[in-house]
Chain A
Amino acid sequence: MSILNVFIVEVRMLGWELKRYLFNTGAMVVVMYIIFLGMFWGAKSIAGAGINQSSLDSMVIGYVLWMSAMFSLQGTGSVVLSESQRGTLEQIYLSPYGADIIFFFKAVTNTLFNFVILTLMLYLTMLTTGRVLSVNLLYFYLILFVSVLSLNGIGFMLGGVGLIHKRIGAVNGILSFGLIGLMLLRVYPLTSFSFLPFIAGAHTINAHIVHGTSFPLWWYLFVIGNSLFYLFIGLAIFRLFEKKAKRLNKMGQY
Chain B
Amino acid sequence: MNNSIISVSNLIKSYKDIVAVDGISFNAYKGEILGILGPNGSGKTTTLKSILGLILFDSGDIHVSGMDVKKDHLKILRNTGAVLEGARNIYWHLSPEENLKYFAGLRGLSHSYIKERMNTLLHELELADVRKKEIREFSKGMKQKVALACAFIHDPDILLLDEPTLGLDVEISRVMRNWLKEVVQKSGKSILVTSHDMDFIESVCDRVLIIKEGRILSHETLQSLKMKFSIKVFNLDIATNPDQDSIRRIEELGELTVENTDNSCRLIILLKNAMLIYDLLEILRSANLEITDFSTVESDLEDIFLNVIKDEPE
Residues in chain A within 8 A of chain B (CB atoms): 1-2, 5-6, 8-9, 12-13, 16-17, 20-21, 86-88, 90-98, 102, 243, 246-249, 251-252
| Residues of B close to A16: CB separation below 8 A | 94, 98, 102
* Chain A residue at minimal CB-CB distance from B46: A249
Taking a contact as CB atoms under 8 Å apart, the answer to whether B106 and A95 are in contact is yes
A87 touches B88 (CB 8 A): yes
A95 to B89, CA, bound (A): 13
Residues of B at the A interface (CB closer than 8 Å) are 15, 46, 49, 52-56, 74-75, 77-78, 80-82, 84-85, 88-94, 98, 101-103, 105-108, 134, 150
A residues near B102, Cβ cutoff 8 Å: 9, 12-13, 16
- Chosen A-B contacts, 28 in total, with CB atoms closer than 8 Å, are A5-B108, A6-B105, A9-B102, A12-B102, A86-B91, A88-B91, A90-B84, A91-B84, A91-B89, A91-B150, A92-B106, A93-B53, A94-B77, A94-B81, A95-B106, A95-B107, A96-B74, A96-B75, A96-B107, A97-B74, A246-B56, A247-B55, A248-B15, A249-B46, A251-B54, A251-B55, A252-B49, A252-B54
Distance from A184 Cβ to chain B, minimum over Cβ atoms (Å): 39
Selected from B46, B53, B56, B106, the residue in CB contact (under 8 A) with A6 is: B106
B105, A252: Cβ atoms closer than 8 Å = no
In the assembled complex, how far is the CB of residue B114 from the closest CB belonging to chain A, in whole angstroms? 10
Distance A20 CA – B56 CA, assembled complex (angstroms): 37
Sample of 4 further A-B pairs with CB below 8 A, known A1-B108, A88-B90, A96-B78: A90-B84, A91-B103, A95-B77, A249-B46
Which of A12, A17, A87, A97 touches B85 (beta carbons < 8 Å)?
A87
When the two chains form their complex, are residues A102 and B54 in contact, meaning their CB atoms are under 8 A apart? no
| B107 CB contacts on chain A under 8 angstroms | 95-96
Decide if B82 touches A243 in the complex (CB within 8 Å): no
Residue contact B94 to A20, C-beta cutoff 8 Å:
yes
Q: Which residue from B77, B81, B94, B105 sits with its C-beta under 8 Å from A8? A: B105
Taking the closest CB of chain A, its distance from the CB of B164, in whole angstroms, is: 15
| CB-CB under 8 A for A20 and B93, given A8-B105, A9-B101, A12-B101 | yes
Roughly how many angstroms separate A72 CA and B81 CA in the complex, as a whole number? 32
**Contact yes or no, B106 A9, CB < 8 A:** yes
**Residue numbers in B under 8 Å from A2 (CB-CB):** 108
Tell me, in angstroms, the Cα distance from A251 to B88 when the chains sit together.
14
Contact of B105 among A5, A20, A21, A251 (CB under 8 A): A5
Is the CB–CB distance between B108 and A94 below 8 Å? no
Q: How far is the CA of A127 from the CA of B102 in the complex (A)?
A: 38
Question: Given the complex, which residues of A lie within 8 Å of B80, measured CB to CB?
Answer: 94
**Distance in angstroms between the alpha carbons of A6 and B107 in the assembled complex:** 9
Decide: A12 and B54 in contact? CB cutoff 8 A: no
Task: Please report the C-alpha to C-alpha distance between residue A121 and residue B55 in the assembled complex, in whole angstroms.
Answer: 45
Partner of B54, one of A93, A95, A97, A98: A93
Measured in the bound complex, the distance between the Cα atoms of B49 and A247 in whole Å is 11
Known: A246-B56, A248-B15. A98 touches B90 (CB 8 A): no
Q: How far is the CA of A96 from the CA of B84 in the complex (A)?
A: 17
Rounded to whole angstroms, the CA-CA distance of A13 and B104 in the bound complex is 12
A247 to B85, CA, bound (A): 19
Residues in A with CB closer than 8 Å to B85 are 87, 90, 252
**Contact partners of A92 in chain B: CB under 8 A:** 106
How far does the alpha carbon of A68 sit from the alpha carbon of B159 in the complex, in Å? 41
Residue of B nearest to A251 (CB): B54
Q: Which residues of A contact B103 (CB under 8 A)?
A: 91
Query: Residues of B contacting A248 with CB < 8 Å?
Result: 15
Say how far A253's CB is from chain B's closest CB, in angstroms: 10
A92→B84 CA distance, assembly (Å): 12
CB distance from A252 to the nearest CB of B (A): 6
B56 touches A243 (CB 8 A): yes
* Residue from the list B55, B56, B74, B93 in contact with A21, Cβ < 8 A: B93
- Among A17, A102, A252, max chain B CB count under 10 A is at A252
**Nearest-Cβ distance from residue A132 to partner chain B, whole angstroms:** 40
B90 touching A12 by the CB < 8 A rule? no
A94-B134 in contact (CB<8A): no
Identity of the chain B residue whose Cβ is nearest the Cβ of A95 in the assembled complex: B106
Q: How far is it, in angstroms, between the C-alpha of A1 and the C-alpha of B54 when the chains are bound?
A: 22
Residue of B nearest to A7 (CB): B105
Which residues of chain A are within 8 angstroms of B52 by Cβ–Cβ distance? 94
Please report the C-alpha to C-alpha distance between residue A201 and residue B11 in the assembled complex, in whole angstroms: 50
Q: In the bound complex, what is the Cα–Cα distance between A16 and B15 (angstroms)?
A: 40
**Residue in A closest to B106 when the chains form the complex, CB atoms:** A95
CB distance from B271 to the nearest CB of A (A): 43
A27–B150 Cα gap in the complex (Å)? 32
Write out the residue numbers on chain B whose beta carbons fall within 8 Å of the beta carbon of A5.
105, 108
Q: Nearest CB to that of B105 among chain A residues?
A: A9
Complex Cα distance A249/B55, Å? 6
- Expressed in whole angstroms, the Cα–Cα distance for A16 and B54 within the complex equals 28
Min CB gap A95→B, angstroms: 4
Complex formed: what's the CA distance from A16 to B81 in Å?
A: 24
